[in-house]
Structure 1
Amino acid sequence: MKIRTHTSLFAAVFGAAALVAAVPMSAMAQDRTQTEAEEEGDSAQPVNDTWITTKVKADLMATSDVPGTTIDVDTTNGVVKLSGNVDSKAQHDKAISVAKGIKGVKSVDAKGLAVAKGGKK
């Protein structure tokens, strides 16, 4: 009877150890960045404020006719705040449009984004 108990205990411990060893491998296989998930069309990944800020800033930098280096971006609970100076109303509107197009953005506050005096309408 004791042999079975030890054998069963050994099997349980060995099985649990194998399971624990397998968990990190499967977790690593599923660990993807938000950008990778977005590129693959996976909307199950959570979007956080830091990711939104980074993505908005990167898209502003990559958008022609928008001075991404002069626009500051801050995100709180999905609300993106844009601040800084742009040369025209068109740049102002384009920056807002870019920010609104990012996944996870609930709204855009551009009160702090000013068109330079003498800027184009």
Structure 2
Amino acid sequence: MNHATIRKALFAAALVTGLGAVPFAQVSAQDSAAKTSDNQTVPGKADDAWITTKVKSEFATKKAVHGSDISVTTTEGVVALTGSVTTAKEKTNAEKIAKAVKGVKSVDASGLTVAPAADAK
């Protein structure tokens, strides 16, 4: 394995560990039978947190997407992608990767804009 692959694998592991622990810790502190103000159950929020974390980690490990410029939010299984990508192909790849994650009902990439990177080679 080369250094870039190892670095990406370590980054993905850290991302999953770091981002995965926070939402679940917050959710477990709440009463699992309680409803939130947006009418989504706590188990549903935990599922959404897992989906968000999984999509972000998939972006981190794929060369086809530069996930650091993409924000991911999930509500009731619907993933919303916002931010910027450098090409239309990268936007399409981001949508495909997000749709492939287990539990994703649909992907809204309308907030994802195509803007060439300032440091493009």
TM-score with structure 2 setting the length: 0.57
Aligned partners of 1:84 and 1:51: how far apart in 2? 20
Aligned partners of 1:66 and 1:58: how far apart in 2? 11
Identity %: 48
**1:40-69 C-alpha deviation (Å, 9 max, x unpaired):** xxxxxx870000000000001111031110
Considering only aligned residues, what root-mean-square deviation do their CA atoms show, in Å?
1.8
The residue type paired with residue 54 of structure 2 is K
Aligned partners of 2:112 and 2:47: how far apart in 1? 23
Aligned partners of 2:97 and 2:48: how far apart in 1? 16
How do 1:1-121 and structure 2 match up within 5 A? 48-116=47-115
Partner of 2:63, secondary structure, is coil
Partner of 2:102, secondary structure, is coil
Aligned length: 73
Larger gyration radius, structure 1 or structure 2: 1
More strand by share: 1
**What 5-or-longer segments of structure 1 have no aligned partner?**
1-45
**What 5-or-longer segments of structure 2 have no aligned partner?**
1-43
